[in-house]
Copies of this chain bind each other. A is one copy, B any other.
């Protein structure tokens, strides 16, 4: 059905959730990608029902394993949670870029996610 990978398996086992092929597959793709992916994106690589995908994503978010945000194209994008960073979304070409050299703090607020919308260097006239 899907490929396997011991590192990813450990990641799942460490949380107390069931180790399933679908979960391994999702996390493996997210790790390989090294950029946020949507359901449409993962579907290119593996055929998985969207209900399964989104239900697992919900579980991963609850277990604090992934981040997500909505892009310009109305789709949610997901990535493995590593060092916190912001995302830039270009409103011209819809590309998504991870922005690491920015950090935002607001006293008394807990910040999960920062999204910056605008025009990327490539899309300036």
Question: A residues engaging B (CB < 8 A)?
Answer: 69-70, 88, 91, 99, 102, 104, 106, 108-121, 124
Contacts and interface: CB of A to CB of B under 8 A. Distances in A.
A83 to B, nearest CB: 17
A106 B88 contact: yes
Nearest to A92: B110
A112 B118 CA distance: 5
B111 A116 contact: yes
Contact of A116 (B108, B114, B118, B124): B114
Contacts of A106: 88, 99, 102, 116
Nearest to A87: B115
A31 B12 CA distance: 49
30 contacts: A70-B70, A88-B106, A91-B112, A99-B106, A102-B104, A102-B106, A104-B116, A106-B116, A108-B121, A108-B124, A109-B116, A109-B119, A109-B120, A109-B121, A110-B118, A110-B119, A110-B124, A111-B116, A111-B117, A112-B117, A112-B118, A112-B119, A113-B116, A113-B117, A113-B118, A114-B114, A114-B116, A114-B117, A115-B116, A115-B117
